[in-house]
Structure formats: C-alpha cells, structure tokens
Amino acid sequence: MDGRTVDMNRLFIKIFNYALEIAAKPKAIYFLFLHSFFESWFFIPVPPDVVLVPMTLSKPKKAWFYAGVTLIGSVLGSCIGFAIGFFALDHALELFSTLGLQSNYIQAMEWFSVWGVGVVFVAGISIVPYWLFTITAGAMDLNFAFFVMAALASRGIRFYLVAWAAYYGGDKGMPMIRKNIDRLGWLVLILFILFVVLKSI
C-alpha cells in the first residue's frame, strides 16, 4: 500500500524523466512537429511547450532548432485552423458544442470584431486554447496574410522564449524542476478537472 502511495506521489517526476528519455531519441523531432501542428487546430490540452522543454534540456545545443521546428508546425497548423473556420465552420461548431465552448467562441468573435488579428497575437503567446482562436479567425474571414504574420510573431516569441529559458536555466533549474514538478503536475490536473466540472454545470 505504502509503495503504491509513493509511486502516485512521484507520478509526474517519473513522467518527466520518461519525457527526457524520449526527447533524447532522434525521432522525437517528428513528435514535436506533429504535436505543435495538431495543437493549433484541434483540442489537445497539453501545449507544445511540454514537449519542447524536455527536448531542449536533453540537447541544449539544439534549443533554437527545436524552437524553430515547433514554430513551423504551429504556424502550419494555424493555417489549417483558419481553413476549418472558413470552409467547415459547421463541423467546428459541433466540436465547440461538445466541449462546452460555445460561450468561448462567441467571446472570441467579439474580441476579433474589436481587435482583429491582434487577438491571434495575444492568444499565441498566452495559455488560452489557441486552436479556438485560429478557427474563429477563419470564421471571421480575417486577412489571411496578417493572420499568418500574427501567428508567426506570437508563436515565435513564445517558443523561442521557452527554449531560451530551458537552455539557460536547464542545468541550474533541473534540481528545482525535479523537486517541484509533482506538486505542479497535480495542481494543473486539479485545475483542469475543476474547469471541466464548472463548464458542465
């Protein structure tokens, strides 16, 4: 019983160590690209940063290369999200309804009507569900060229900052990461469950 309790208490450090092992493998670059690609137009609760950080920690010299791969995948995925909103909005609305995100979609439309592609820039940097905004941008028929530029700028700033932080703080920050990652992991999981429960009420 105690052994199982210890295992659960150290669940996220085990996941983190496993991620570091996977990140060191050559094919991890494909997973990083695909993850950042799909996260930009489909519901994936785990952001690309979670993959980018361990890969940078495992091979710091490739930090900027990994950030570039993440950026390219994310911008290409953003274009898919835009196309879905422009050409297949009905299917996207069904997904929003299933996930209880109708009010978020309406709010995003209101923001776009006021701030235009500036909303894409803010969404690309922040932790909001970015995919919802790429689809909404297409539904609002925003200028595609400006949309791509906003996606490039915001996602570029975010991923290169994350890679920079992992690169320069990696060796010094690893003890702190290993010490606190379990607490942080459970906190994020609890907040996510609360979010789902509150949306269903």
Start-to-end C-alpha separation, the chain:
35
Q: How many domains does the chain have?
A: 1
Mean pLDDT of the chain: 83
pLDDT bucket at 58, cuts 50 / 70 / 90: confident
Alpha-carbon distance of 95 to 172, in angstroms, equals: 42
Alpha-carbon distance of 24 to 131, in angstroms, equals: 28
Is a pLDDT exceeding 80 seen at residue 16?
Answer: no
Is a pLDDT exceeding 70 seen at residue 104?
Answer: yes
Which residue stretches of the chain are H helix?
2-9, 11-23, 28-39, 49-58, 63-87, 89-98, 102-115, 118-125, 130-139, 144-200
pLDDT bucket at 182, cuts 50 / 70 / 90: low
CA distances from residue 153 to 23, 62, 160, 176, 178 in whole angstroms, order as listed: 26, 21, 11, 30, 32
Alpha-carbon distance of 55 to 60, in angstroms, equals: 8
Range of the domain at 35: 2-200
Is a pLDDT exceeding 50 seen at residue 25?
Answer: yes
110-161 pLDDT tens trace: 999 989 999 999 999 887 889 999 999 999 999 999 999 999 999 999 999 8
Q: Across residues 93-122, what is the average pLDDT?
A: 90
Alpha-carbon distance of 98 to 28, in angstroms, equals: 32
To the question of pTM greater than 0.75 for the whole model, the response is yes
